[in-house]
A = this chain, B = another copy of it.
Amino acid sequence: MTVEVTTLANGMTVATESMPHLETATLGVWVGAGSRSEAAAEHGISHLLEHMAFKGTTTRSARRIAEEIEAVGGEINAATSVENTCYYARILADDLPLSVDILSDILTRSVFDPEELERECHVVLQEIGAADDAPEDLVFDMLQERAFHDQPIGRPILGTPETVASFRREHLTDYLDRHYLGSRAVVAAAGRVEHDAVVALVEERFAEFSTGTAPEEAFATWTGGEAREIRDLSEAQLTLGFEGRPYASPDHHAAQILATVLGGGMSSRLFQEIREKQGLCYSISAFHWGYRETGLFGIHAATGEGDLDRLMEGVAAEVARTIEAIDEAELGRAKAQLRAGLLMSLESPVSRASQIARQMLIWGRPLTTREILEKIEAVDREQVLRLAGEIFLGSEPTLAMVGPVGGAMGAEAFVERLARRG
């Protein structure tokens, strides 16, 4: 597997991986701007812009965008995250030129018609409502908000009904001009693609993409704290967060391994102890999300009101135990899981294109599979144990809960349990 990379005159990079045994391809544009790029008055604009990109260009109506890509059986989609926004198409390989044409159209020639904008704001309000109705998703927004309180990186990506309703055409074009820059945009493609052909297409169609320098973004500061919303639900949704590590940190892979050991699969400590041995929940897991200069190490679980205290005691005990000892067998399993997960993801053009794009945005170059595997392999027990101590004892935890959580222990009580055990 070899990724070929070309940088265009406007600063955009094109990175492709040819998977010649496939019939299909994924091609997308990843822009290194997302919800954390927003000023306070812009809260939700990255996501609204992503929606509005599909609402008509100087040459295509919204309906024509949808009809053209679906007429060849393609799919076009987009997603906004904290640090990135992506627009991508899954197509049969022969339809690659059309996908580049449409993506360039929506990213450089969108009109943001005021009437369309008003309608789309209403659609996003419904999306906000649906997100609020889904406690299992909502609790993650609450976690992020509390972990990085009152900062762009902590704000829910969708925005609020008030901010979304306040946006006009000029807010969108202004945001677009400032943030959608060649220097922080990557076109990534994987599947049956030829690098030179993709470069030629992108060079022609994205000629108008802005050059310029991206504005500085505020440095995120971990705050920690507690967010609790009492709702009449069957299950309490619970998340617990600790300050994690940046994705480019030398501890990044150790943090992934730590999350895997603690709650990464059926053999993980939380799954075995809390679900299998104590039967206290259906879902429990741990994860690590890296950001540019910080990270979030989290635990998620859901359980009934009557089991909530025992579950939190159990989680505190497992977290404390992880600071004390990790054995070679579980370290080996965690590495094997990360290794196999990586190899499996290489086989899907969608996940491969997305991986390449993120590597380009983070490192400015694609990483080889071999170097990632070597980095995973190089992590040893001492590093994971040291990191566990730093993460679990070094930051004020964040506790976010929604559901029948009126009587649940608070963040301070949790820290006490942790200290007593640790």
Contacts and interface: CB of A to CB of B under 8 A. Distances in A.
A67 interface: yes
A113 interface: no
A142 B73 CA distance: 32
Interface string A72-83: 111110000000
A92 interface: yes
A167 to B, nearest CB: 15
Total identical chains:
2
Find the residue from A70, A75, A272, A348 having the highest chain B CB count within 10 A: A70
A134 B136 contact: yes
Interface in A55-71: 62-63, 65-67, 69-71
Contact of A70 (B74, B118, B275, B337): B337
A272 B70 CA distance: 13
Interface stretch (A250-258, A276-284, A354-362): A276-284
A334 B125 CA distance: 30
A163 to B, nearest CB: 17
A73 B340 contact: yes
A329 B128 CA distance: 34
Contact of A124 (B70, B76, B282, B403): B282
A223 interface: no
A344 B24 contact: yes
Interface stretch (A28-36, A172-180, A263-271, A410-418): A263-271
Given A75-B265, A265-B70, A279-B119, A129 B234 contact: yes
Interface string A149-193: 000000000000000000000000000000000000000000000
A344 B91 CA distance: 8
A332 B71 contact: yes
Contacts of A343: 23-24, 92
Contacts of A280: 122, 126
A235 B134 CA distance: 10
Given A124-B282, A235-B133, A336-B71, A266 B76 contact: yes
A375 to B, nearest CB: 16
Nearest to A135: B133
* Interface of A, helix, strand, loop or mixed by DSSP: helix
Given A265-B66, A267-B70, A279-B119, A304 B24 contact: no
A353 B275 CA distance: 30
A329 B66 CA distance: 13
Interface string A3-23: 000000000000000000111
A10 B73 CA distance: 42
Contacts of A133: 135-136, 233-235, 403
Nearest to A75: B265
Given A92-B340, A126-B282, A133-B403, 9 more contacts: A24-B343, A63-B267, A71-B333, A73-B338, A73-B340, A127-B282, A132-B234, A133-B136, A134-B134
Interface of A: 21-24, 54, 62-63, 65-67, 69-76, 90-92, 118-120, 122-130, 132-136, 233-235, 265-267, 271-272, 275-283, 302-304, 307, 329, 332-333, 336-341, 343-344, 346-349, 403
20 contacts: A24-B347, A63-B272, A66-B265, A66-B272, A71-B336, A73-B341, A76-B266, A118-B279, A122-B279, A122-B280, A123-B279, A123-B282, A126-B280, A126-B302, A127-B282, A129-B235, A130-B234, A130-B235, A347-B348, A347-B349
